[in-house]
């Protein structure tokens, strides 16, 4: 069996296993489901087939094979209810592929604590952390594979829970005209965590294990414009399966890009828009993501650099 078929078969089996568990109780560590990077957010999260270089450590570690030199990627989000979400990744070309390290953090401003009858008794905070190491390389013509291991931790007031997880990914360039890319990634695979409260171990908090796959296609629209579109699907433990659509109109000559994303069957958000500007080895991105259920809107900023 050719290598790309074997890789696809392995990830497909993981996808079927997750599908069988999708009706289970909702998972914890929800911050891992926030699309990493403003460009990816503007494209509705349809990014497993597009992520290359440092950003790929969050989406599909097979995309680390595209790392050139040293790459940096950083993002900052402003969320509802005084939540902040930050990401930073660094990648370099090593060992015949791309090697990356990343950190992702979600944290809150102080939250008022109250007793049983509603009196204020102080304040507390919360934070979520994800530390990851990833590697991806081309293993056969057109085929790239990658993996990442990470430690995930969640703290609320004085109680914390942590666990290990790993991601797997595959990308395939069939060599057809137009820049078609196929991708499949399995994310957040690992054991459940447990909070310890008053010396007793609490109920298991499972990871939001997920499979995301799909394709992207690039096409020139004349000498000054290009269009890139992505169509993907995501299945996450304990949540509805969602469809992801993204489109990016870019002008290579000026470095400007406009983006639009749509999430089908997502109860939290649907439409997203954004823009980007690339200057030599620097890229700046912005995304606006409105939320349903009166949860407010989010503004997301990212930058990427290559040295």
- Asked if residue 117 is part of any domain, the answer here is no
Q: SS3 of 179, please?
A: coil
Burial class (CB in 10 A: 0-12, 13-18, 19+), 62: buried
Work out the average pLDDT over 20-26.
Answer: 51
Work out the average pLDDT over 17-25.
Answer: 47
**Confidence (pLDDT) at 123:** 56
Work out the average pLDDT over 54-62.
Answer: 96
H-helix segments, the chain: 3-21, 38-42, 56-59
Q: Could you report the per-residue pLDDT of 200-228, keeping only the tens digit for each?
A: 677 788 999 999 999 999 988 878 899 99
Strand duo 159-172 + 120-124: pairing: unpaired
Q: How confident is the model at residue 110 (pLDDT cuts 50, 70, 90)?
A: low
**Confidence (pLDDT) at 81:** 62
Q: How confident is the model at residue 76 (pLDDT cuts 50, 70, 90)?
A: very high
CB atoms within 10 A of CB 116: 5
Q: Please say whether the beta carbons of 67 and 93 come within 8 A.
A: yes
Q: SS3 of 231, please?
A: strand
Q: How confident is the model at residue 120 (pLDDT cuts 50, 70, 90)?
A: low
For the chain, how many residues are written?
A: 307
- 109 pLDDT more than 90: no
**Torsion sign across C-alpha atoms 11, 244, 207, 50:** positive
Question: Where in the sequence is the domain holding 199, given as residue range(s)?
Answer: 3-112+122-306
- Asked if residue 225 is part of any domain, the answer here is yes
305's tokens: 């650099």
- Asked if residue 139 is part of any domain, the answer here is yes
Q: How confident is the model at residue 245 (pLDDT cuts 50, 70, 90)?
A: very high
Q: How far is CA 159 from CA 124, 130, 197, 206, in A?
A: 11, 17, 7, 17
Q: How far apart are CA 64 and CA 73, in angstroms?
A: 13
Q: How confident is the model at residue 9 (pLDDT cuts 50, 70, 90)?
A: very low
Q: How far apart are CA 268 and CA 35, in angstroms?
A: 13
pTM score of the predicted model = 0.84
**Confidence (pLDDT) at 224:** 85
**Confidence (pLDDT) at 18:** 45
**Confidence (pLDDT) at 1:** 42
Residue 46: give its domain's CATH number: 2.40.160.40
**Confidence (pLDDT) at 232:** 97
- Asked if residue 224 is part of any domain, the answer here is yes
**Confidence (pLDDT) at 134:** 97
Least confident span in 2-16, 19-33, 163-177, 184-198:
2-16
Query: From the centroid of its chain, how far is CA 118?
Result: 38
Q: How far apart are CA 267 and CA 293, in angstroms?
A: 9
Residue with tokens 């433990």: 237
Q: How far apart are CA 229 and CA 56, in angstroms?
A: 18
Q: Which of 270, 269, 266 has the alpha carbon at shortest distance from 240?
A: 266
Per cent of the chain over pLDDT 90 is 60
Strand duo 297-306 + 256-264: pairing: unpaired
- 267 pLDDT more than 90: no
In sequence order, what are the residues at sequence separation of 6 or more whose Cβ sits closer than 8 angstroms to the Cβ of residue 143? 3, 4, 7, 170, 171, 172, 173
Mean of the per-residue pLDDT values of the chain: 85
DSSP bridge partners of 77: 85, 300
Least confident span in 32-36, 157-161, 293-297:
293-297
Q: Please say whether the beta carbons of 197 and 205 come within 8 A.
A: no
Q: Please say whether the beta carbons of 229 and 258 come within 8 A.
A: no
**Confidence (pLDDT) at 118:** 64
102 vs 119, residue with greater confidence: 102
**Confidence (pLDDT) at 178:** 67
- Asked if residue 103 is part of any domain, the answer here is yes
81's tokens: 């209810």
Work out the average pLDDT over 39-48.
Answer: 96
Question: Could you give the number of structural domains in the chain?
Answer: 1
**Confidence (pLDDT) at 75:** 96
């Amino acid at each position: 069996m050719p290598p790309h078929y074997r890789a696809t078969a392995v990830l497909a089996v993981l996808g079927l296993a997750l599908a069988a568990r999708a009706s289970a109780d909702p998972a914890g560590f929800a911050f891992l489901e926030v699309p990493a990077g403003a460009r990816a957010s503007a494209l509705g999260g349809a990014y497993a087939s597009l992520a290359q270089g440092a950003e790929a450590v969050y989406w599909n570690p097979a995309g680390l094979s595209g790392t050139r030199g040293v790459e940096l990627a950083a993002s900052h989000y402003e969320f509802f209810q005084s939540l902040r979400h930050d990401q930073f990744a660094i990648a370099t070309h090593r060992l015949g592929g791309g090697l990356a390290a990343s950190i992702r953090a979600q944290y809150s401003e102080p939250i008022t604590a109250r007793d049983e009858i509603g009196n204020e008794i102080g304040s507390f905070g919360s934070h979520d952390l994800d530390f990851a190491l990833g590697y991806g390389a081309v293993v056969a013509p057109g085929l790239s594979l990658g993996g990442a291991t990470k430690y995930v931790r969640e703290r609320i007031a004085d109680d914390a829970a942590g666990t290990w997880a790993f991601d797997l990914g595959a990308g395939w360039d069939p060599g057809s005209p137009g820049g078609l890319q196929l991708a499949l990634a399995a994310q957040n695979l690992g054991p459940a965590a447990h909070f310890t409260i008053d010396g007793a171990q609490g109920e298991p908090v499972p990871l939001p294990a997920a499979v995301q796959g799909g394709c992207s296609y690039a096409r020139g629209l004349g000498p000054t414009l290009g269009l890139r579109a992505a169509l993907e699907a995501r299945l996450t433990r304990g949540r509805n399966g969602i469809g992801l659509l993204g489109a990016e109109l870019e002008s290579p000559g000026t470095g400007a890009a406009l983006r639009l994303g749509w999430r089908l069957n997502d109860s939290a958000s649907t439409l997203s828009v954004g823009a980007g500007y690339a200057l030599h080895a620097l890229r700046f991105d912005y995304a606006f993501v409105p939320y349903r259920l009166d949860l407010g809107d989010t503004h997301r900023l990212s930058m990427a650099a290559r040295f």
